[in-house]
Amino acid sequence: MAYSDSSSSSELPTSQLITKANTLLATGQASKALELYELVLERDPDDYLTLYKKATTQMSLGQNHHASQSLQKDLKSAQKHLKNARSNIKAKNYSKCVEEASAAIKISPQSPALRQLRSDCHFMQGHIQEASGDLTHVTHLSPNSPIAALRLSFLSYFFLAQPLEQSMKPIKKCLHSDPESKACKKAFRQLKALEKELAKVRNFSNSNGHRSAIKLLIPKGNEAEGLIEKTRVIIKEAQLADLKAGMDEPLISAEVEEVEKLSRLLTSLYSFGCKATRNQSARPYMLETKNDIWGVISKAETLMANENWEQAVNLLKEAYSKNEDEEEISSRLRKAQKGLKISQQKDYYKGLGRAQKRRQAHSQKGLSQSYPSGPSWGVLILPLLAFSFAYSKSVFFGKGKRAAPKPKRPPLNKTLFK
């Protein structure tokens, strides 16, 4: 190397080497920067970002042939990672898919296809926030793509439960660039209608108008109608292409299983249903949503109804530790603790009663062993009592009873008559 400071630079950590090279490049010392980039690549030949910087530096120095070789190597690496990412998403190895897609994005950060692929990998894992972040990049890289705008809007509203105004921004941009877009117009009307009903449910629920809320969620107890079913249908349809609206790709990959469980909006609707009626159809779904207050309450009330007090107490204690200010949980926790205490007292007295019966049985067994088998004491004593009673009756009340002695009169004083 011609760079005089190369010996001291070789002792620096890789991160400091890259920083130093970038500083040299920014100050116009391209040759010295190139030497440091080469030093970094000696340590890590797969550092694709440094390889790209090396190629651009070579081009600035007029070394076009060498720059072309470096870029070709970069391109082959990106293609390799892209291929691996696609293989992993098919094999349902989503974390590896994210890793490979991220490596490809480092080489080609302006590729919307790579961003979309990594977004899909994140979504498959249930990492909705990360998936939304990649989709935001896709909309910036492809501002005129209606499907990119709709995907971001759909994730924001249905899966992140963002406010309508924020979720509508990508759709409004789509309509601004293409006012006649069938897909964007349909999505706009759909979200507006859902939000109108959802606002009513929120208002009824917050004001304890549970009967009115449940009429909107599940009218007349018919689960095939109402806001919950409408939302479920929209989410399922998002996994299909809508050719009539000009959408030849689904908004959500059909490979995503149980996509409804990832929807925060649908979870909130089931939560309203549980709060309003403890609705049985909502309970199995809400058991999956462990962090939802009304899902926990619904399960706890089922346990209390079956007198599984200890399990209910444990469940509510765990929920209370996360939501100490939630009166709905604390009141039910007190109820469950009281039920557990009463249950334990009943069990204690039952055990005490059984112990007393065992002692009585043991005593009777001891008495029976003390006296030989034969006529019982009652059989022997009854004739004696009968005889004694008959004798007493004959003596005091019978015909042969003795006459009571008459009281003696004092002798007559005859001198009184003289």
239 and 297 belong to one structural domain: no
Report the alpha-carbon distance of residue 111 to residue 390 in Å, rounded: 121
Residue 229 forms part of a structural domain: yes
Handedness of CA 387, 393, 395, 396 (dihedral sign): positive
Residue 387 forms part of a structural domain: no
For residue 116, give the nearest of 94, 100, 139, 95 by alpha carbon.
Answer: 139
φ, ψ for residue 376, nearest 5 deg:
-75, 165
Q: Which domain holds residue 347?
A: 290-353
Query: What tokens were used for 389?
Result: 């009673």
Residue 206 forms part of a structural domain: yes
The predicted structure's pLDDT at residue 416: 52
Give me the number of domains the chain comprises.
2
Residue 160 forms part of a structural domain: no
319 and 229 belong to one structural domain: no
What's the pTM? 0.58
The predicted structure's pLDDT at residue 384: 66
Residue 345 forms part of a structural domain: yes
Residue 235 forms part of a structural domain: yes
φ, ψ for residue 247, nearest 5 deg:
-105, 105
Q: Per residue of the chain (418 residues), what is the pLDDT tens digit?
A: 444 455 566 667 777 888 888 888 788 887 888 778 777 777 776 666 676 677 777 777 777 766 666 666 667 777 888 899 999 999 999 999 999 999 888 877 888 889 999 999 999 998 999 999 999 999 998 888 899 999 999 999 999 888 999 999 999 999 998 899 999 999 999 999 999 999 998 888 778 787 888 888 887 766 667 888 899 999 999 999 888 888 888 999 888 888 888 888 888 888 777 766 654 444 544 444 555 566 676 677 777 777 888 888 888 887 777 665 567 678 778 888 888 888 877 766 665 566 666 666 666 665 555 555 555 555 556 666 666 666 666 655 555 555 555 666 666 555 555 5
Last residue in a domain, options 329, 353, 377: 353
Last residue in a domain, options 353, 373, 398: 353
The predicted structure's pLDDT at residue 152: 95
